Structure 1
Amino acid sequence: MPTAPRPGTKTDRLVRSLRDRIAARALGPGDRMPSIRGLAAQMQVSPSTVVEAYDRLTAEGLLQPRRGAGFFVTRAAQLPPLRVAAMEPTRPRDLDPFWVSRQSLDPQPGALQPGCGWMPGDWLPEAAMRSALRALARAETSVLTDYAPARGCPRLRRLLLARCAEEHLALTPDQLMLTASASQAMDLICRLLLRPGDTVLVDDPGYFNFHALLRSHQVRVVGLPRTPEGPDLAAFEAALAQGPRLYLTNSALHNPTGGTLSPQIAQRLLTLAAGHPLTIVEDETFADLEPEPSVRLAVLDGLERVLRIGGFSKTLSASVRCGYIAGRADWIEALTDLQVATSFGGPSPVATEVLRQVLAQGGYRRHLAQLHRRLARARRQAVAQLAPLGITPWVLPRGGFYLWTRFPEGCDTGEVARAAAARNVILAPGNVFSPGRTAGRFMRFNVTQMSDPAVLSALHGAMT
C-alpha cells in the first residue's frame, strides 16, 4: 500500500491550492487545467509534483484526464455552495458590507439608521404612489397577468428616452432596456463582460454593495483613490496598465462621498481610457437628486465605451423597484438575452406601470424641486450637529442625502459604529466603502435619518 504524502509537502500545498481554486469557481466544470510544465513554472515546483497533484485530484473526482488534451475540471465535480462573504479576508463585523447591509435591511425594533442608503417614507411622494396604485386597477389585463417584454415596459422606456434627450443623449429604442433594479443591471453587465480573474476598477471609497457583487463574479478589484472632483487620474492611468475590463463609478453625487465629477477630469479620464479594452459603467442612481445637472461620461462619450445604469429607489420607492441600462445597441441586445435567460423577461409590469404613472405626472418634477430644498436644509443641519463633536464634511455635496465626514485624529469609525450599534443606532463606517481599508477616520451619514436626538447622543457616547 503506498504511503500517504506527509502533511505540508509541496504536493499537499499544491493540491490544496488547486482544490480551493475549483471550490471558488476560479476553475469551473469543463475548464482545462494549466499544462503540467506551465503550472510547474508558475508554482516553482517540479513537473512530477504537478503530475502527482493532478493524479490525486483525479482520484477525488475533481479532474478528468483527456488523452492528448490535458486535464479538465470534471463537469460532475461536487462543489461546495458558493459563499460570497468568504471570498476575501475576514473583516470585523462592523466593517463587513454584508453585515452592515443586513443590519439596515433587518433592523432591530426601534433602531435608528443614519448609516442606511435611503430616505424615510415621508420624504418620498407617497400620495403620487398611492394614486398610481389606484390607477393600476384600471390598467389593461395584460399588465396584471402577463410576463414583461424582454426589454421591459415600452411606455416607460419611451419616457426614459425622452429624459435622456433632454441631456443631449440621443438614444434609439434598441439602446435602452429595463431591469429589476440597478443592482441587477450591474450583475447582468458583469455576466456579459467579465470572467473570473479579470481586473475591475472601482472608486475607493465607493458603493460597497457593488464591491460585494464583484466578489461574487470572482474578479480582481482594484481601488482608485477618490478626490472631490473624481478619481485620481495618476492612479487611473497606472491601473490601465493592468488591463482592466470595467471601471465602475458615479459621476453625479458620488456614493459615499457626495462629490461630483468635474468636466476637466471627465474629459481626461475618457482620453486616458481610449485605446484600452475598458468599459466604464456610470451609475446614475442619484442623478435626480442633483439640483443642476453636472457633466456625464455617457454624454461626452456617446455611449461608445460607457454603459449607463440607474433606478428609482432613491427618489420614488425602494418597494417598487426598477432599473435600466443604456448603451450600444449590440450590448443591449446581448444583455437582453441574458435577462431572458436569468429572469425570463424584463421587470414586473405592475412595478413599471406604477413608476410610469408617477414619472409621467408633472408632480414628479415638483416633488424633486421640493426635495432639493429640503435636502439642502438637512445637510446644513447635519453639518451643524456634527461640528461640536469635531466631525467635519470631506466635501459639501451639491445635492443628495449623503455626507462623507472626517472624524478627529485617532478616532476609529469602526469602533464608533460598534459602540453605537450597542445603542441600536446603525452607522456606516468608512472602511465598509474602502477596498483598501484606507478610510478608518471617515463615516457616511444619511442626513435624512438624523433628526432623532438619540443619534447624536449615541455618537457622543461612542466617541468618549
Structure 2
Amino acid sequence: MDAIRRKVSTRSLAPGEKLPSIRGFAKSMQVSPSTVVEAYDRLAAEGLIRPRPGSGFYVTGSLPLTLAEVEPRSDRAVDPFWVSRQSLDGGPDMLRPGCGWLPADWMPNAAIRRAVRSLAKAEDAVLSDYGATRGSLALRGLLARQFVLEGLKTGPEQILLTASGTQAIDLVCRFLLQPGDTVVLDDPCYFNFQALLRAHRVKVVGVPMTPTGPDTTSFAEVLETHRPRLYVTNSAIHNPTGASLSPQAAHRILTLAAAHDVTVVEDDIFADFEPEPSARLAVLDGLAWVIRIGSFSKTLSASIRCGYIAARGDWIEGLIDLQVATNFGGPSPIATTVVHDVLADGSYRKHLASLRSRLAKRRREMASTLEALGIRPWLEPRGGFYLWCRLPRGHDAATIARLALADRIVLAPGNVFSIAQTATEWMRFNVAQMADPKVPAFLRKALVSQRG
C-alpha cells in the first residue's frame, strides 16, 4: 500500500493510469498475490484507486484529500461550547485539566475487554439489528434493582435506555418544552445544559448555588416570577462546584416544584462517586415530579455511549415515540450488552471502590498544590474529580485559559458555567487530569504574568 501511495504522490502513477498486475506486483514486491489483492482492495476503499472488472485497477482521476486534525482555536468565544470543543478536538499531546472525564487508564478496561470479547459469541441480531425501542431488558432490570436498593421503587417499564446522557436530556426537552418556555438552572452549572437549552430556543434563568444545593429563597422567587417549565440539576456531586444536596434543601425544592407545576430533571451521572448517597430528589419524590437521567461515561467508558431516563410510565411512552422519531429505535445493542456485562461483572464494584479512594487522595493533593499558588477551592467535595476554585483576586480565568492553549493545556474558565457571567475569577479543575507537572508550572507562570 505504501509503495502504491508513493508512486501516486510522486506521479510515477498518474490519474487514470493502470496499476501493475496483481501477479507482476506480487513478484516485484516478493509477496503473495493474495497480499497484493488485499492491498488493492484497501486502497480502493480509500478512494485512491478503483477497479474495472476484467481490466484491473486504475488510479482515480483526483487524489483523495489529505486528512488533518482540526486544532483547537484560542480565538473562539469563551462560551458554553469552549471546554467541549477544546477538549474533544485536542490531539493526544494535549493536557486536559479542564475536561469532564477520567484518564483512559483509570477506567475498567480489563472488564470492558472481557465484555467486548464475549460479543463474538453473541447472536447475530446483537451485532446487526436495531435496538428495541426501550433498550435492553437485561440492563433496564439491573438498573431497576439498583434503584430499589436506593429506595426508588420502580421497574424496568419505567426506564428508557438512550444513546447517551445528553440524548436523555434532549428527549426530555423535546417532550416537555416549547420554544420560549423558561428553564431554571443552577448558577454555576454544567455548561452543556446551557448549550442544549440554547438549541431548544428556551429562556434560561439561573439560581445561585450554595454548598448544600441551590439557594432555596432565590429558587422560590424565580418560580414565582418566571413560571418555569423545568428545573435541571445535579444533586449528587454538583458539576462544577462539587456541592451535595442537603435533605432540607431537597425537601424545599420538591415542595416548591409541586406547588408551581415544575418538573425537575435530576442528572445523576456522578452518583457512583459518592462514598455514601446524599439526598436524591428522585428517591424522595418517587418520580412524581422528578425525572432521573444518567449514563455510564464517567465511571465505565465515554466511548461506549449509553444513557437512561427513569420517569413516570405514561411519560416513558411519549419519550419512546420521540426516541423512535429521532434515533429509530433504542441505543445500540452492542453498547447496551457491553455496559450490562461490565456492570454485572463482580469486578465493577471493586473498580468503583478503588476509584473513590484514588480520587480522594488526588483531590487532597491537588487542593494543596493549587492553594500553594493562591488558587483556593470553594469547598472540599464528598467525591468526584472536580475542584471549583477561585483564582487570586484580579485574575481573569478566560484570559488564562486562552494562554494555556499555546502550551497545549485545556482549562475550564468559570464563566462557561455561569449564566449570570459572574465567575470571571473562577475555574474548574479535573484533579485526575493534573498529574503532569506542566499544569501547575503553567498556572504559576500565568498568574505571575497577569499580575505583572
Q: Does TM-score exceed 0.5, indicating one fold?
A: yes
Instruction: Tell me: CA distance 1:108–1:139, structure 2 relative to 1, closer, same or farther (3 Å).
Output: closer
Q: Equivalents in 2 of 1:330, 1:403: separation in Å?
A: 39
Contact 1:94/1:414 (CA < 8 Å) preserved in 2? no
Q: Which amino acid aligns with 2:124?
A: T
**Counterpart mapping for 1:192-211 below 5 A:** 192-211=175-194
Q: Which amino acid aligns with 2:220?
A: E
Contact 1:174/1:333 (CA < 8 Å) preserved in 2? no
Residue in 1 aligned with 2:115?
132
Q: Quote how far apart the aligned CAs of 1:109 are.
A: 4.8
Residue in 2 aligned with 1:260?
244
Contact 2:80/2:192 (CA < 8 Å) preserved in 1? yes
Residues 354-409 of structure 1, C-alpha deviations (whole Å, 9 max, x = no match)? 01000011111000000010000110110111111101110100000011111111
Contact 2:82/2:416 (CA < 8 Å) preserved in 1? no
In structure 2, list runs of 5 or more residues that go unmatched: 1-73
Q: Which amino acid aligns with 2:209?
A: R
Alignment partner for residue 321 of structure 2, among 325, 337, 345?
A: 337
1:274 alignment partner, SS class: helix
Q: Quote how far apart the aligned CAs of 1:225 are.
A: 0.5
**Counterpart mapping for 1:34-433 below 5 A:** 93=76, 95-241=78-224, 242-433=226-417
Q: Quote how far apart the aligned CAs of 1:133 are.
A: 0.3
Q: Quote how far apart the aligned CAs of 1:94 are.
A: 5.5
Q: Which moved more, 1:297-306 or 1:410-419?
A: 410-419
Q: Equivalents in 2 of 1:93, 1:264: separation in Å?
A: 41
Residue in 1 aligned with 2:430?
446
Identity %: 61
Contact 1:94/1:417 (CA < 8 Å) preserved in 2? no
Q: Quote how far apart the aligned CAs of 1:92 are.
A: 7.4
Q: Equivalents in 1 of 2:230, 2:77: separation in Å?
A: 28
Contact 2:236/2:278 (CA < 8 Å) preserved in 1? yes
1:209 alignment partner, SS class: helix
Q: Equivalents in 2 of 1:185, 1:264: separation in Å?
A: 28
Instruction: Tell me: CA distance 1:109–1:149, structure 2 relative to 1, closer, same or farther (3 Å).
Output: closer
Corresponding residue pairs, total = 374
Q: Which amino acid aligns with 1:272?
A: L
Q: Which amino acid aligns with 2:303?
A: S
1:365 alignment partner, SS class: helix
Q: Equivalents in 1 of 2:99, 2:92: separation in Å?
A: 15
Q: Which moved more, 1:97-106 or 1:236-245?
A: 97-106
Q: Equivalents in 2 of 1:334, 1:191: separation in Å?
A: 10
Residues 168-213 of structure 1, C-alpha deviations (whole Å, 9 max, x = no match)? 1111222111000010000000001000100000010000011100
Residues 324-370 of structure 1, C-alpha deviations (whole Å, 9 max, x = no match)? 00010011110011001111111000000001000011111000000
Contact 1:94/1:100 (CA < 8 Å) preserved in 2? no
Q: Equivalents in 2 of 1:144, 1:269: separation in Å?
A: 44
Let me know the Cα RMSD of the aligned residues.
1.2
Q: Equivalents in 1 of 2:110, 2:415: separation in Å?
A: 38
Q: Which amino acid aligns with 1:279?
A: T
2:387 alignment partner, SS class: strand
Q: Which amino acid aligns with 1:206?
A: C
Q: Equivalents in 1 of 2:256, 2:295: separation in Å?
A: 28
Contact 1:199/1:220 (CA < 8 Å) preserved in 2? yes
Residue in 1 aligned with 2:26?
none
TM-score (norm 2): 0.81
1:456 alignment partner, SS class: helix
In structure 1, list runs of 5 or more residues that go unmatched: 1-90
Runs of 4+ with >3 A deviation? 91-94
Q: Equivalents in 1 of 2:132, 2:317: separation in Å?
A: 13
Mark the structure with the bigger radius of gyration: 2
Contact 2:81/2:191 (CA < 8 Å) preserved in 1? no
Q: Which amino acid aligns with 2:312?
A: R
Q: Which amino acid aligns with 1:403?
A: L
Q: Equivalents in 2 of 1:369, 1:172: separation in Å?
A: 27
Contact 2:232/2:265 (CA < 8 Å) preserved in 1? yes
2:248 alignment partner, SS class: helix
